Amino acid sequence: MYFYKMYFSEKNEVFSCDPNGIHGAPSKREYLPFLESLLTFLELDCTEVTPMIRRISDNWDRWLAEGDKEACTAAMVELGQLACRHVYFQLPYVRWYDRHTRQATYQDRGSEEDTQMAEELHQMPEQLMLYQRQVQRFFDLVLDVDKAGREPQQQIRRCFTYDIPDHPSDPDMFPFRPISVSIEPTDEGTCVPVLYARHIPDIIDFSLRSCVERNITVRRCKNCGRYFAQTGRVSAEYCDRPVPRGQQKCREIGAFQQWTLKQSDDPVFKAYRREYKRRFAWIKAGRISDSQFYAWSEQAREQKKKCDRDIITLEEFQQWLKES
């Protein structure tokens, strides 16, 4: 029997799955920053994966109705390709792989389970877009610190009727339903709640409720505009989410921008920067050599430090720059 499970550590989320149910050595294990899977799902362009899901659905239908082995193979291959698009899609892959294996064992192709799974594939494109809208609404009303506030546990109380979590007061909001959760030891040496998912909304459910339980909010990054989970300071404005190799993370960019803004208002830095640029231009004009410029810049930095520490006044620093 297949398994697909996930859990949250302090600042990460861990996924593991196996179509054959081998827990000790799963075929897939993935570590992501906290809430990264949900955030990337929210950003997913469903129109890009819809044609692939439609082909999988058509091939699976032909396999069930006609026993077309080539169609079955095509469906499984494309399910594997879909699983590479997002960690959520690893779940349908291991489920369908497990079901195909049991069909061969029990010779029960076309069972009621097959009919239900075929219907899931038919509805999946529309359901994925629905889940995205529901998650966005949940962010707006509960988790977005700038729209909803800093207390998710208080904010969520306004959105659900007591004892009816699957019928939120806002019909566009994500509904909570019973999911399969265990308590297990982890590789990090702790015991945590572990989700055993059967459907994609189970993963979304577990992620959202974990944020509420931990009082973790989200915010749009001031640099890239993407959501990020505020697992540290609630005042953080720049994300630390993964970026392509060679690019700076937004938090690094934000720190530099804040430093630049602070320096732009600093009269000591302004005086130093203005003279620095003027002397640098002298190199191109041939008025001074490279070595003369770098010797001067070292002296200028030392004088700036003195001014920053109030050893000399701004006027004295400006006079030194003028006469040096």
Per-residue pLDDT averaged across 105-121, rounded? Answer: 96
Q: Are 221 and 237 in contact (CB under 8 A)?
A: yes
CA distance 303 to 296: 11
Strands 218-220 and 227-229 turn out to be antiparallel
Residue 304: its pLDDT value, please? Answer: 86
Query: 6: which strand partners?
Result: 15, 195
Residue 162: its pLDDT value, please? Answer: 66
pLDDT band at 279 (very low <50, low <70, confident <90, very high): confident
Q: Are 197 and 4 in contact (CB under 8 A)?
A: yes
Three-state DSSP at 297 gives helix
Read off φ and ψ for residue 258, nearest 5 degrees: -65, -40
Residue 290: its pLDDT value, please? Answer: 85
pLDDT in tens, 178-216: 999 999 998 778 899 999 999 999 999 999 999 999 999
pLDDT in tens, 155-177: 998 887 766 666 787 888 999 99
